[in-house]
């Protein structure tokens, strides 16, 4: 635990989160009592807020554990061992979602007043995404439209189904602030869990749509894009009202991925768009803040985005992200009116 030493973090802080509380949670989960587990997690979140527990310690601790087992998720581990690691991964994300939601509710005023906490929370909501897995370059960015805090409903995620399949998600939950951030974390974590139970992105999105329609406020909705990448370059893409992604193979084009936004209809079917990302090819996903960046009354728009991607086609994934963000900001005189998240995948030549 010595590597976690940082201002405001002590061993006692870490014991609060990863001591008896999580042991109790694991016991409840093993006994098949998820309702009890969630109730205790929510109670723990309220207790952490009451004790002014630094949220930074919670986020740092979760990320430390995640980084310690992530290499095992990306390797050809024995099946039994991999199942245990996957279970730990899912539990940690469910725990963070439950704790964070009740923590926010109990500590709302103070959180809204603290710029630095907003930054830490948003960093906790963005997954720890590696720059490369196998022959796949991965680059991403998140930019807040708010000057005082990096806190909103945009989210990005990556998780491994097995040694051959990686899942990426990008989404945008309506609204800003801690409530939108907590809800977006719940959406992300639920989709992970549904995919672990049944690794079919269409089925997982159907289940997520039901939960969102039942649990989100009537004025809330979320858009989302889920992408399953297989080691042979195959992409299975499912959309829920999200801006169309871009695929560059022989040429760059938008992929029309249909689907209704989450939280609109309880019963909604979703279809998968199946394509291949060739060696040297690019895949670009983003939230609507990127194309809605304005110069006077004119948006940056899809055509300018496509041109920007084509101009950077032979660059690294990181440089593609930087270029399209720079072009959108240049169009908007240096300021976004909405949060922006971008994900770029580039398959290397082998």
> CA-to-CA distance for 150 and 217, rounded, in angstroms?
23
Query: Which of these, 281, 288, 275, 292, lies nearest to 317 by C-alpha position?
Result: 281
**pLDDT attached to residue 209:** 94
Higher per-residue confidence, 35 vs 18: 35
pLDDT band at residue 115 using 50, 70 and 90 as cut-offs = very low
Can you tell me which residue has the tokens 């082998």?
Answer: 350
Which of 29-38, 141-150, 266-275 shows the lowest mean pLDDT across its residues?
29-38
**pLDDT attached to residue 169:** 96
- Answer yes or no: is pLDDT of 27 > 90: no
Each domain of the chain, given as residue ranges in start order, spans 1-106, 127-350
**pLDDT attached to residue 8:** 44
Calculate what percentage of the chain has a pLDDT beyond 70. Answer: 60
Give the 3-state secondary structure of residue 36. Answer: helix
Q: 318-336 in b/e burial notation, b at 16+ Cβ within 10 A?
A: bebbbbbbebbbebbeeeb
Average pLDDT, the chain: 78
**pLDDT attached to residue 48:** 62
Can you tell me which residue has the tokens 């959180």?
Answer: 111
DSSP 176-224: EHHHHHHHHHHHHHHHHHHHHHS--HHHHHHHHHHHHHHHS-TT--EEE
Q: Report the Cα–Cα distance between both ends of the chain, in Å, rounded.
A: 39
> CA-to-CA distance for 100 and 103, rounded, in angstroms?
5
- Answer yes or no: is pLDDT of 172 > 80: yes
> CA-to-CA distance for 192 and 47, rounded, in angstroms?
27
Query: Which of these, 9, 39, 2, 37, lies nearest to 23 by C-alpha position?
Result: 37
> CA-to-CA distance for 287 and 155, rounded, in angstroms?
9
pLDDT band at residue 4 using 50, 70 and 90 as cut-offs = very low
**pLDDT attached to residue 339:** 87
CATH of segment(s) 127-350: 3.60.40.10
pLDDT 10s digits, 57-89: 555 555 555 555 555 555 555 555 555 555 556
pLDDT 10s digits, 213-266: 988 888 889 999 999 999 999 999 999 999 999 999 989 999 999 999 999 988
């Amino acid at each position: 635990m010595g590597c976690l030493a940082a201002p405001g973090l002590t061993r006692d802080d870490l014991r609060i989160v990863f001591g008896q509380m999580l042991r109790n949670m694991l016991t409840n989960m093993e006994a098949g009592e998820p309702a009890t587990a969630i109730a205790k997690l929510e109670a723990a979140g309220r207790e952490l807020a009451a004790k002014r527990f630094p949220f930074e310690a919670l986020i740092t601790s979760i990320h430390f554990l995640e980084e310690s087992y992530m290499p095992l998720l990306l390797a050809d581990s024995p099946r039994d061992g991999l199942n245990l690691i996957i279970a730990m991964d899912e539990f940690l994300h469910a725990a963070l979602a439950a704790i964070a939601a009740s923590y926010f509710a109990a500590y709302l005023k103070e959180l809204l007043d603290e710029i630095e906490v907003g930054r830490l929370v948003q960093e906790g909501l963005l997954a720890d995404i590696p720059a490369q897995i196998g022959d796949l370059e991965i680059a991403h960015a998140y930019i807040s439209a708010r000057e005082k805090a990096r806190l909103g409903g945009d989210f990005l995620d990556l998780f491994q189904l097995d040694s051959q399949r990686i899942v990426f998600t990008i989404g945008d939950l309506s609204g800003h602030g801690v409530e939108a951030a907590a809800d977006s974390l719940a959406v992300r974590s639920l989709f992970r869990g549904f995919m672990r139970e049944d690794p079919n992105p269409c089925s997982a999105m159907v289940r997520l749509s039901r939960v969102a329609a039942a649990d989100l406020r009537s004025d809330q909705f979320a858009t989302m894009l889920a992408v399953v990448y297989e080691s042979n370059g195959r992409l299975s893409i499912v959309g829920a009202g999200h801006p169309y992604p871009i695929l560059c193979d022989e040429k760059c084009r938008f992929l029309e991925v249909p689907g209704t936004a989450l939280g609109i209809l309880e019963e909604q079917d979703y279809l998968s768009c199946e394509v291949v990302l060739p060696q040297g090819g690019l895949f670009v996903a983003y939230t609507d803040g990127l194309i809605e960046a304005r110069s006077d009354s004119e948006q940056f728009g899809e055509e300018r985005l496509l041109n920007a991607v084509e101009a950077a086609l032979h660059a690294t994934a990181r440089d593609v992200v930087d270029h399209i963000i720079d072009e959108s900001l240049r169009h908007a005189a240096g300021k976004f009116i909405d949060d922006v998240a971008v994900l770029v995948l580039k398959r290397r030549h082998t």
